[in-house]
Amino acid sequence: MKWNAQGSAEMRWKMKYMIKDNQAGFVLKNGIFQKMILSGIYYLPKMMGYTVEIEEMTGELDYLDVPYQILSKDGVFLNSTVHMEIPDGYVGFIYVNGKLTSFANRKEYTFWNVFDKYEIKVVSMMETDMGEEVSRQMFSLIPGKFYTEIAVGEGEVALVYYDNVLQRQLAKGIYRFWNYRHKVTFCVIDMRQKALDIVGQEILTKDKIGIRMNVVCMYKIKNAIEFAGAVSELKGQLYSAVQLAIREIVGNYKLDEILEAKEQISKEIYEALKTREGMFCINFLTAGIKDIILPGEIREIMNSVLVAEKKAQANVISRREEVASTRSLLNTAKLMDENQTLYKLKELEYLERICEKVGEISVGGNAGIVEQLGRMIGA
């Protein structure tokens, strides 16, 4: 009984702890780590400040109130965990039982290594180009702040800068760079042929008539590096240059000359733009007048002139037809007068035509039969 009484008294000032097979206990005395214990039943004197923190032995170690340097002095802890450090300038990829699961960028990681095997593969960021060692699956886990991705399409080039210093030019493809040693920036330049439309450009002709003109230019960038260094905003500057060239050239012509020499003026505009190519590091391929828009009153006058011209042309044609008809009759009469056989054939032609209309014919008098028959059929 005495032993039982003592045992009961002893149990009253001890705390019972039951640790399962998949758990571990961190024994603390007044909050200071003492040791780690595995599965079993434990009684610790709570009056002396002992407590036990129980953790599941899976995944990353959550018990971080105690520095690893202190925990690592316990042999049981060392045998149950794996500790990995990632050097500066590196990132890691965590594998669980050989399967890639997550991205790691902290300096230290501690995992329970009892039921699962944990590994970290480290990759250097010291070379700014992201190498082939980073697989597509690994890349999918990297947060965007760690890298810069450049996609270069068909007909494009990209200029890559490290800390605002040009490094190289990229052709079509997808490129990735670590944002560690350098600030990576880039610009993508379209090297394909492009069109610039100048719409509704107002111009005063030499004879002081205000017109509007639509002009189209085709151009392409000839050198991406020179272009990037010389031109900050191409479209706006190019638009202004083309406007000036149009005004300079078209303003030297009268309205009638512009309408008659549209192709020649287009050629002059193109030649003027060719002299400005060096300013923009581009090649002008074509340039020409697309439309000429006249004021309303000018259009009415020109329409009236056009109608008058068409009427005059119609009168000329009518007169030509009358002259041709008269000449034809004259030639026919002359031939019949000179050729009796032809005359007789003409008589027979009239007879045939009359017979189609009447059943009986009477002719007489001194007039010729052809003349009488002609009068009968109105010929």
Residue ranges of the domains in the chain?
A: 2-89, 138-190, 194-294, 304-336, 339-379
How confident is the model at residue 347, as a pLDDT?
A: 65
Give the residue carrying structure tokens 């003592």: 6
Radius of gyration of the chain (CA): 52
pLDDT less than 70: residues of the chain: 1-12, 63-64, 296-318, 321-326, 328-333, 335-379
Helix (H, G, I), strand (E, B) or coil at 305: helix
Q: What is the pLDDT of residues 55-86, one digit of tens each?
A: 999 999 876 578 888 899 999 999 999 999 99
Q: Rounded distance, CA 77 to CA 34, Å? A: 11
Neighbours of 284 (CB within 10 A): 22
How confident is the model at residue 204, as a pLDDT?
A: 86
CATH architecture under which domain 194-294 falls: 2-Layer Sandwich (3.30)
How confident is the model at residue 5, as a pLDDT?
A: 35
The C-alpha angle 322, 327, 328, rounded to 5 degrees, equals: 100
How confident is the model at residue 177, as a pLDDT?
A: 97
How confident is the model at residue 164, as a pLDDT?
A: 92
Comparing CA positions, the residue from 323, 324, 368 lying closest to residue 346 is 368
Q: Rounded distance, CA 263 to CA 363, Å? A: 71
How confident is the model at residue 6, as a pLDDT?
A: 39
Which residues, 6+ apart, have CB-to-CB distance to 113 below 8 Å? 80, 81, 82
How confident is the model at residue 212, as a pLDDT?
A: 87
Helix (H, G, I), strand (E, B) or coil at 178: strand
Helix (H, G, I), strand (E, B) or coil at 24: strand
Q: What is the DSSP string of 43-96?
A: EEEGGGTEEEEEEESSSB----SS-HHHHTTSHHHHHHEEEEE--TTEEEEEEE
Residue 275: exposure state from Cβ atoms within 10 A (0-12, 13-18, ≥19): exposed
How confident is the model at residue 261, as a pLDDT?
A: 87
How confident is the model at residue 68, as a pLDDT?
A: 87
The torsion defined by the Cα of 271, 273, 275 and 277, in degrees rounded to 10, comes to: -140
Question: Are the CB atoms for 244 and 273 separated by under 8 Å?
Answer: no
Q: Which alpha helices (DSSP H) does 105-230 contain, by range?
A: 136-139, 224-230
Give the residue carrying structure tokens 């697989």: 135
How confident is the model at residue 219, as a pLDDT?
A: 93
Q: Rounded distance, CA 176 to CA 147, Å? A: 7
Beta-strand ranges (E) seen in 163-314 are 165-170, 173-178, 184-190, 194-204, 210-221, 282-293
Q: Which alpha helices (DSSP H) does 276-355 contain, by range?
A: 277-280, 296-338, 340-355
Q: Rounded distance, CA 316 to CA 307, Å? A: 14
Neighbours of 270 (CB within 10 A): 18
Q: Rounded distance, CA 156 to CA 195, Å? A: 16
